[in-house]
Amino acid sequence: MLLPFPQIKAIVGDENLLTSPEELYCYSFDASKMRFVPEGVAFPAEAAQVSALVKLANEYSFAVYPRGSGSGMVGACLAQGGLVIVTNRLNRILEIDADNMTAVLEPGVITGEFQKAAAKCGLFYPPDPASLPFSTMGGNVATCAGGPRAVKYGVTRDYLLGLEMVLPTGEIIRTGTRTMKGVVGYDLTRLMAGSEGTLGIFTKIIVRLIPAPESVRTLTAVFSNLDCAANAICEILRDRIIPSTMELMDQATIGAVENHLRIGLPVEAEALVLIEVDGPGILLDGQVERIVGICKKAGASKTEVAQCDAERDRLWQARRSISPALGRIRPGKINEDVTVPRTRIPELIRSIRTLAEKYDLPIVCFGHAGDGNIHTNIMLDRKDEGERRRAGKAVEELFGIVLGLEGTLSGEHGIGIAKSPFIELEVGPGGLDAMRRIKQALDPLNIMNPGKMFVPDRTFLDGSFA
């Protein structure tokens, strides 16, 4: 249907509604490389406008698609027609309460900017998705974003205390508390974390903060054998050190990055591990010493400890260069973010090597070894139909392997459109039905971000990735 543009303009103002094909095109994609063009894009400035837009959608039966910065990996914010509601004008940090260590902010606040504002108060908001320089807090809550620090600090839901939100029926409700404790009714707040814009549009977010860590130390360890690296990682945790980061690069990744940077990375090694510890300065030298000892004992051929910020940057350089480096192997990739209990990582990576051989496609693994979240990049030329088909099969087989290892299909990216054909594999028919019933209960007309999560439309599978 055609959107009721006059009514939408009456709510947000002429200047806050996009309708031209050129403008709409800019809101037709996210980081998944899928493309769907909306009919309109609205930029409300306050909760009352969001509510009015959603009530209008109920009245006129059009779909609304909440959107932040569009940095999601699975198409969860893409609009198959309908009205995109961008929350980026709600972008104020309303309060940082240093004494109670909480903050209240609007959904359009950029996560990295919020972290800087918190740091000025000596406080720390740990969740660190790679997109944090441009992704929004609203998007981070909607996807329950996480990053390298999850091993020690958890993910977005672990800091989320409360929300103000517009339900799919248009009512504005407040959920949660400003306190660590709160058990009044169902936990709608945590239900919303990771709900991918299908259950409501956030208009305020309350999070808790923690004291900023005093110091950080960074080191790397090179292993000729992957199992030795995995053992070292477990041994560090067994020694009751919880690093704030433990990033693993497999041999294919090391090779790709070296090919890109030419900085003398150990291309013969099966694993390069980047480790950071943070906390009181007085503890860290001892922890670094123990970690180096554990790595050497586990078979590390080389360890290197950063002695200054410049060295720290150098050690991070390889990890940070993975994404640009991968383009050199193949023009396209399918980027999965499977997660397994960390002791199962060697089994996972060995199985992935077998998959790569079976389907004759390079598969590059790197990611967050501490929490078992391994970014698995199947490299392909998307113009090659055979490669596309083989890659699709490799993904399906990968998911079976991951579930067999007691893992999950997605640690960070979520379901959206891209993984909706597979959700039932993990949650089962009963679990999926329970989710569908909740969706229907809160969004009886299915107007909020329809076509996501519960729609196993396999037609997106072949063409959408690249």
Query: What Cα–Cα distance (Å) separates residue 24 from each residue in 16, 19, 28?
Result: 13, 6, 6
User: Does residue 263 contact residue 254 with C-beta atoms inside 8 Å?
Assistant: no
Query: What are the beta bridge partners of residue 220?
Result: 274, 304
Collapsing DSSP states into helix, strand and coil, what is residue 247? Answer: strand
Nearest CA-CA partner of 151 in 426, 413, 414, 411: 411
Q: How is residue 335 written in tokens?
A: 């980027």
Q: Which is nearer to a copy of itself, 372 or 450 (CB)?
A: 372
**CA distance linking residue 368 with residue 375, whole number of Å:** 8
- The minimum distance between CB 153 and a copy of itself, in angstroms, equals 9
329-364 in b/e form (b: 16+ CB < 10 A) is bbebbbbbbbbbebebbbebbebbbebbeebebbbb
Residue 154 CB partners (closer than 8 Å, separation 6+): 126, 127, 146
Number of residues assigned to the chain: 466
Q: Minimum Å distance from CB 310 to a copy of itself?
A: 27
Closer to a copy of itself by CB, 231 or 251: give it. Answer: 231
Of 357 and 433, the one with the shorter C-beta distance to a copy of itself is 433
Q: Which is nearer to a copy of itself, 45 or 212 (CB)?
A: 212
Whose Cβ is closer to a copy of itself: residue 385's or residue 406's?
406
How far apart are CB 411 and a copy of itself at their closest, in Å? Answer: 3
Q: How far is the CB of 370 from a copy of itself (least distance, A)?
A: 9
CB of 388 to a copy of itself, least distance (A): 24
Cβ at position 18, least distance to a copy of itself in Å:
30
Least distance CB 149 / a copy of itself (angstroms): 10
Residue 206 CA to residue 298 CA, distance in Å, equals 43
Q: What angle do CA 25, 28, 31 make, to 5 degrees?
A: 125
Q: Which is nearer to a copy of itself, 133 or 286 (CB)?
A: 286
Residue 378, strand partner residues: 334, 363
Strands 172-176 and 160-166: antiparallel
CA distance 60 to 417: 25
The β-bridge relationship of strands 93-97 and 102-105 is antiparallel
Residue among 219 and 409 whose Cβ is closer to a copy of itself: 409
Considering the complex, what minimum distance in angstroms separates the CB of residue 291 from a copy of itself?
15
Show Cβ contacts of residue 414 under 8 Å, excluding neighbours closer than 6 positions. Answer: 72, 73, 74, 76, 143, 144, 194, 196
DSSP 411: S
CA distances, 30 to each of 75, 121, 416, 448 (Å): 6, 33, 11, 18
DSSP single-letter state for residue 184: S
How many Å apart are CA 388 and CA 381, to the nearest integer? Answer: 7
Q: Which is nearer to a copy of itself, 330 or 368 (CB)?
A: 368
Task: Using the minimum distance from each CB to a copy of itself, give the nearer residue, 259 or 440.
Answer: 440
The minimum distance between CB 140 and a copy of itself, in angstroms, equals: 11
Q: How far is the CB of 414 from a copy of itself (least distance, A)?
A: 5
- Distance in Å, CB of 423 to a copy of itself, minimum: 6
